[in-house]
Amino acid sequence: MAGNTLCHSICHKVIEKFAEEIDSTVSSSPIVISSNIQKYFGPENTLYLKGNLVLIDFSILEIAIFASELRSNLIIDKYRLHYMDSNRRMLFRYDNASHHPEIISYPHHKHTPNEVMPASMPLLQDVLNEISAIIIEKSSKKS
């Protein structure tokens, strides 16, 4: 029984560290003006993280991640990173829903308004960098 307690304590730290890294990425991003990320820690070292980020141009990034721990390793079971403009039109979405088996990176892929393409699961920081580039490009076109 003590072994289970020790594993629970160690394993849960992997999930907690992942949640802290998400919080740190969000709080240190210069393009995030508000965030409402909710974390639900479940049984057997699982985490359901969901919410959205409002960005400096009032676009929105919706985040949903279901993670678990296996042998002290983080496993991302399901994810969805859905980026929309201020009118809530999708600009892109990364996910691993199993609805595009034809994609070489199946089940991982990226949706854009006109296509679905191969992709791996990006880090949140990489998505925020991609969004920053979109915001910069959009603002330079206005100038």
Output the pLDDT for position 11: 45
Question: Tens place of pLDDT for every residue, the chain, 143 residues?
Answer: 333 333 444 446 899 999 999 999 999 999 999 999 999 999 888 999 999 999 999 999 999 999 999 988 999 999 999 999 999 999 999 999 999 999 999 999 999 999 999 999 999 999 999 999 999 998 888 76
Whole-model pTM: value is 0.89
Cα separation, 66 vs 3, in Å, equals: 26
Distance of alpha carbon 41 from alpha carbon 94, whole angstroms: 23
